[in-house]
Structure 1
Amino acid sequence: MNVFFHFRSCSRDYGGIMSVLGSDSWWKKTLYITGGALLAAAAYLLHELLAIRKEQELDSKDAIILHQFSRPKNGVPSLSPFCLKIETYLRMADLPYQNYFDGRLSPQGKMPWIEYNHEQVSGSEFIVDFLEEKLGVNLNKNLTPQEIAVSRAVTKMVEEHLYWTIAYCQWVDNLEETQKLLAMSGPLSDTLKWMLSHLNGGIVRREMYGHGIGRFSKEEVYTLMEKDMRTLATLLGDKKYFMGSKISTLDATVFGHLAQAMWTLPGTRPEQLIKGELINLAMFCERMRRRFWPEWFVEVEDFYYDGDSESSSGGTPTGLLDFGLFSRTDTLDDSDGSSHSAGRTHTHSPDSDRSLFDSDVGTGSDNDAQFKEESMPDLEV
């Protein structure tokens, strides 16, 4: 009798173990734990291998060291709006810098961050403040106090609200497509890309929920995104830059975020909007790319959206204007309508011989002396 009950007990234990081993949840947990351990070990090993070289190279005096994520595979400088913002800002201010794509976060857990003469600064707003104080640069010096206030308000809308909707599109709704853009090589590259993308997707979901915007449905998140993008399109209007003909820090901020919709999210709602109904935002992105990223090559097809529009207006997306058409005179300035020269207008019809894609060459704008295209800093990959 005792032997019989012992046999039944062992059978139940064996069956329970096998049922657990056969469950999907057990294998998923094991995969996540193993993958996380491998990812952490790889990151630590990479950090240790680069430590000596970094100590030697970071000792250069008066050099801006920009730490950011690695370049993606599609030619876009960064999948991070904040990394693209800061690197674009450095180019706008004509400040030489060195890139370090080491994936090393700042002591505050931020990316990007900079080092300058052994001082470390993280957070894009604090980086800009630091460079203005240390190096005397100021992209907003031509703005009025009211324009500066508007610029800060729009910056907060973009970085604290629009950012999360774009991140949702990148790392939640289109995770598999974003995963393909990650630049990794080696025999385990596909596995590492899968782990990294899913890890980042989980972080975005958790932080969005903590922010509050992640508690809404997919459609509601995209509705909020569309409202922000329409606000930016209205604010830009037919101006060259967001504050008129004078370039400012706000342009770097908006460009860093809109470039994600423009070049990293094919076929998505953000791309449909920016390349269709809100075409002036696409024009702005291309204007910034041409002026401050001359080595960033894009195909002509990247400026068109051929799919059906899902915008609430139900209209048909409009193709972008001919990128071969440029004007060597400013199409716009910041003065009021009474001071415009004869024949100059703020309205651009499809038949106009002018394009909003100004080359900014010989325009005579207030910024030409400050922003010299021929002295663009080198891009280190």
Structure 2
Amino acid sequence: MQSVLNLGKTTVTTCTFLRAASTSLQGKGPLKTNWKENVVYLYQFPRPANRQPNLSPYCLKIETFLRANRIKHEVVGTWLTLRQSPRGLLPFIELNGQQISDSQVIVWKLQKHFDLDDKLEGSDRGTARAVERMIDLSTNYALLVDKTVNNAHLLLARQVSNLPLPSFLTNYLAKGFSQTARKRVNGVLGKLDVAEQKELLRRDIRAIDDILGDKKFLFGDRITSVDCSVFGQIGAVFYLPYRQQISDLLEDDFPRVRAYCDRIRQHYYPEWRDD
């Protein structure tokens, strides 16, 4: 799964330059020509203004995976890379001159190349796969409602997104962004009403809480790729500087899940602090 900042038809004029500047490079080999062996080059959206590593859950997932497994890497954050991706989406990586996209595939390829294993067996392995698909599909789109559909104007504001655009333009683009996000949500979850959407998210977070229990990570004392997926989805939304349903759920009903996210953030992102 990947994340794309798609602002709809309203951005055609705004993005013309970006697309033209990058089209000639798309699909023509690595962008990093002087790459170093076994160094991962992570291409993702630029760092946002609110100090989060990334607003994209899939970008946050991959960077967390790299940090958790101590894989040497370099982050390349620029809007121009969006159209230079093999699939036109972010994140993607380059490893030894090869481009790899789709966050799920990226994890598989990195695990194979660096001989990494979550060391899960039997029911734990089955549960991990089920959680991974739930968090990247059901939970992702349930979170998208508050994050983007209802609050696109806050998400795209320069003080959050760091978009190099004036406020009148981001406010204008936010309308199209919200409509696009609504279509994506309805296409995956169906046209649920507000109460049904909230119940869906509650059930997903409760499932995480049930599996987590009082453990440090979902499957014990060792972080797994699934923890990176869960943190990517929840962390990219919960730590935004505006309240959403996930804020109430973690603060009031599921404190263990909040503490779990805080642990991952503090351990793997010591530089990520709120002023």
Q: TM-score range by the shorter chain?
A: 0.7 to 0.9
Does structure 2 retain, via aligned residues, the 8 Å contact 1:171–1:204? yes
Shift of 1:77: 1.0
* Percent of residue pairs identical: 27
What secondary structure is seen at the aligned counterpart in 1 of 2:42? strand
SS where residue 170 of structure 2 aligns?
A: helix
Q: Does 1:76 align with 2:55?
A: no
Q: Match of 1:130?
A: 109
Deviation, 1:148, is: 1.5
Aligned to 2:257: 281
Residue 15 (structure 2) pairs with residue 40 (structure 1): yes
SS across alignment from 1:120: strand
2:62–2:228 contact (8 Å) kept in structure 1: yes
Q: Deviations over 1:331-375 (max 9, x none)?
A: xxxxxxxxxxxxxxxxxxxxxxxxxxxxxxxxxxxxxxxxxxxxx
SS of the aligned residue for 1:275 comes to: helix
Which of 1 and 2 has higher RCO (CA within 8 Å, sep 6+)?
2
SS at match of 1:239: coil
Residue 184 of structure 1, CA deviation: 2.5
Q: Does 1:209 align with 2:186?
A: yes
For the residue of structure 2 that corresponds to 1:240, the secondary structure is coil
Identify which of 194, 207, 212 aligns with 1:218.
194
Mean CA deviation greater in 97-106 or 228-237: 97-106
Q: Deviations over 1:11-68 (max 9, x none)?
A: xxxxxxxxxxxxxxxxxxxxx86x43322224236548999xx977443132311111
Rounded to whole Å, the distance in 2 between the matches of 1:86 and 1:61 is 19
Q: Secondary structure at the match of 1:222?
A: helix
> How many residue pairs are counted as aligned between the two chains?
260
The farther-off stretch of 263-272 and 122-131 is 263-272
Q: CA 1:49 to 1:73, structure 2 compared with 1: closer, same or farther past 3 Å?
A: farther
Indicate the structure (1 or 2) with the bigger Cα radius of gyration.
1
2:42 to 53, 66, 70: 66
1:167 aligns with 2:144: yes
The amino acid that maps onto 2:224 is S
- For residues 134 and 244 of structure 1, the distance between their equivalents in structure 2, rounded to whole angstroms, comes to 25
Out of 231, 235, 259, the position equivalent to 1:255 is 231
TM-score after normalising by structure 2: 0.85
Using a 3 Å threshold, how does the CA distance of structure 1 residues 200 and 173 change in structure 2: closer, same or farther?
A: same
Which residue of 2 is the match for residue 352 of structure 1?
A: none
- Aligned match for 1:89, one of 39, 54, 65: 65
CA drift of 1:241 comes to 0.6
CA displacement at 1:249 relative to structure 2: 1.0
Q: 1:108 to 1:48 in 2, by over 3 A?
A: closer
Q: CA deviation at 1:230?
A: 1.3
Contact 1:241 1:247 in 2 (8 A): yes
CA distance in 1 between partners of 2:194 and 2:241 (Å):
16
In structure 2, the partner of 1:145 is: 122
Residue of structure 2 in register with 1:233 after alignment: 209
Q: Label 1:236 to 1:47 Cα distance change in 2 as closer, same or farther (>3 A).
A: same
Could you report, residue by residue, the CA deviation over 1:309-349 in whole angstroms, capped at 9, with x for unpaired residues? xxxxxxxxxxxxxxxxxxxxxxxxxxxxxxxxxxxxxxxxx
C-alpha separation in 2, matches of 1:170 and 1:268: 7
CA contact (8 A) 1:265 1:271 kept: no
C-alpha contact 1:112 1:124 (8 A) present in aligned 2: yes
Once the two structures are TM-superposed, the CA of residue 124 in structure 1 deviates from its matched residue by 1.3
Q: Work out whether residues 147 and 244 of structure 2, in 8 Å CA contact, stay in contact via their aligned partners in 1.
A: no
Contact 1:170–1:265 at 8 Å: present in 2 too?
A: no
The 1:57–1:126 alpha-carbon spacing in structure 2 relative to 1, beyond 3 Å, is closer
- Matching residue of 2:5: none
Structure 1 residues 160 and 48: alpha-carbon distance in aligned structure 2, compared to 1, 3 A threshold: closer
Contact 1:155 1:254 in 2 (8 A): yes
Aligned match of 2:163? 184
Structure 1 counterpart of 2:100, from 107, 117, 121: 121
Q: Any runs of at least 4 consecutive aligned residues in structure 1 with deviations exceeding 6 A, and if so which?
A: 48-51
Structure 2 CA distance for aligned equivalents of residues 246 and 48 of structure 1: 42
Q: Report the Cα distance in structure 1 between the residues aligned to 2:68 and 2:175, rounded to whole angstroms.
A: 34
Q: What is the TM-score when the length of structure 1 is the normalising length? A: 0.63
Shift of 1:145: 3.1
The CA distance in 2 between the partners of 1:274 and 1:80, in whole Å, is: 20
1:246 corresponds, among 222, 233, 238, to 222
Query: Structure 2: which amino acid aligns with 1:41?
Result: T
2:171 pairs, out of 190, 194, 218, with: 194
Q: After TM superposition, give the deviation of residue 190 of structure 1 in Å.
A: 2.1
* Per-residue deviation, 1:94: 0.3
Return the alpha-carbon distance in structure 2 between the equivalents of residues 237 and 149 of structure 1.
18
Change (3 A) 1:59 1:197: farther
Aligned CA RMSD, in angstroms, stands at 2.5
Q: Following the alignment from structure 1 to structure 2, what is the Cα–Cα distance between the partners of residues 36 and 60? A: 33
Q: Where does 1:289-328 land on structure 2 (aligned, <5 Å)?
A: 289-299=265-275
CA distance in 1, matches of 2:241, 2:204: 17
